[in-house]
Amino acid sequence: MRIVTIVFIILLLTSPCFPVDAGDEDFKIKNINLDKLTTRLFVSKLSSLLGNDIRGIWMMQRNDDDKVRDESSNSNTGTLSGGLAWTDVYKTNWAYKAILNGTTDYIDLGDSDDFSFVGAGDLDHAFSIVSLVYFDNVNLNQGILTKYNTNDHFYEYYFEKISSGRLNFLIGNPISGSVDISQIYESSGSVSFGWNFVVATYDGRGISLGVANLGMKMYHNGRLVSVLSSDSGYTGQVNTTTNCFIGAHEVSTGAFNFLDGDIAFSALVGTELSQQQITRIYELVRGIYDI
């Protein structure tokens, strides 16, 4: 039994993806619950693919409190908010997903310097947002991962789905009570009902280029998407005190675009992920979730 267990774990760690058939949820290997074991293995492989400068990895794994653990070493713990509870988290294949109601539910990550990407000189700090989301409604504006408050002029970035199933990625900076932004949005919608693996990346060259959107990209299910862009005098990232949210975009104080659907995991990284990294992460994700 010991040899079989060791071989099974090695196969999980070395294979490009995990088996999809969950089997018995209560099945255990030497008293280790398979869900928790698989989560640890998944996080280990995901971390290796994300590379250096991981700012946070948030898996929707059940806990004994209202906290969403940061699986990175940064301890940027999130909090279930707006009525979201672990009773709204259900198992899918080998992993869990949080079901957000589209009207009040979200995850509040708080504020941390890890969530800001101010660079040096004429460069911002590169960063990437990674998330696996299930959309029940593709026509509403819905926040995926954001650090942006319109009313208080705390503009850093947001990644969301806008109308007609299109992705939208924006970075900004508050200047004298106004905002200078640079953004990209899909020229046509790629997001569909069901699971969507989405990534936004920024190479940090916005200030030197004068137009940050030249260094911004979005990916859907592992593929680079075609985008349109706009810019209004972007001059660089700032470190604000606004909170970072999963599943919500605060468009004004107390007013949100909430995610109507499910969240499996989100990650924030202080580098620009490459096409190769994103493709490999997508292959890993497909082994866990039905996409």
pLDDT in tens, 10-63: 444 455 444 433 333 333 333 345 567 778 888 999 999 999 999 999 999 887
What's the chain's average pLDDT?
83
CA 127 – CA 137 distance, rounded (Å): 28
Identity of the amino acid at 285: V
Which residues contact residue 220 at a Cβ distance below 8 angstroms, ignoring those fewer than 6 apart?
Answer: 167, 190, 191, 196, 197, 198
Question: pLDDT digit string (tens) for 65-92?
Answer: 899 999 999 999 999 999 999 888 777 6
pLDDT at 178: 63
Q: How far is CA 111 from CA 79, 174, 180, 250, in A?
A: 12, 17, 21, 14
Domains along the chain with CATH numbers: 2-286 (2.60.120.200)
Alpha helices in the chain, H assignment, sequence order: 2-14, 34-50, 206-209, 275-286
Q: How far is CA 50 from CA 44, 124, 180, in A?
A: 10, 20, 30
Question: pLDDT digit string (tens) for 216-233?
Answer: 999 999 999 989 888 777
